[in-house]
Amino acid sequence: MARQTYVNLAIKDVTRSKEFFTHLGFAFEPRFSNENAACMIINESTFVMLLAEPFFQTFTKKQICDAKTSTEVLVCLSCESRAEVDSIVAAAVAAGGSIPREPEDRGFMYGHAFQDLDGHLWELIFMETSSDAPA
């Protein structure tokens, strides 16, 4: 069995965050979602647990950082194309997110980013494989 990955992020409002990420095209696993948490599906083995701050706090004795003023993690997702990168960033902005920086084009790799409603940074990249690269 493939190892599963669960990234846990502290959020202010579960309903609001679910609406935001649904607008970006993500689905949620209802078995692991309730008023305190939303289990966002990235793929069959990768998930993001969006946890209401009071619930998140039950897993740690450390102070939860404010992702709008401090960076605790950069979540990076690969995309199928440059167009998909731009489409997801545009959807994030339309849903109330923001753009923390300009896109970066390094030839073989294209990336852009958005900041979600709670300030978490999401990097999106498309990397050309040797068969994708221009001749």
**Domain map of the chain by residue range?**
5-127
The Cα 129–Cα 109 span in angstroms is: 9
Residues 8-53 have pLDDT tens digits of 999 999 999 999 999 999 999 999 999 999 999 999 999 999 999 9
Percent of the chain at pLDDT exceeding 70: 96
Domain 5-127 is classified in which CATH homologous superfamily? 2,3-Dihydroxybiphenyl 1,2-Dioxygenase, domain 1 (3.10.180.10)
pLDDT at 130 over 80: no
> Which one, of 36, 30, 41, lies nearest residue 14 by Cα?
36
Give pLDDT, residue 129: 81
The residue length of the chain stands at: 135
pTM of the shown model: 0.86
SS3 93: helix
Mapping DSSP to helix (H, G, I), strand (E, B) and coil, where does residue 21 land? Answer: helix
The confidence score (pLDDT) of residue 132 equals 55
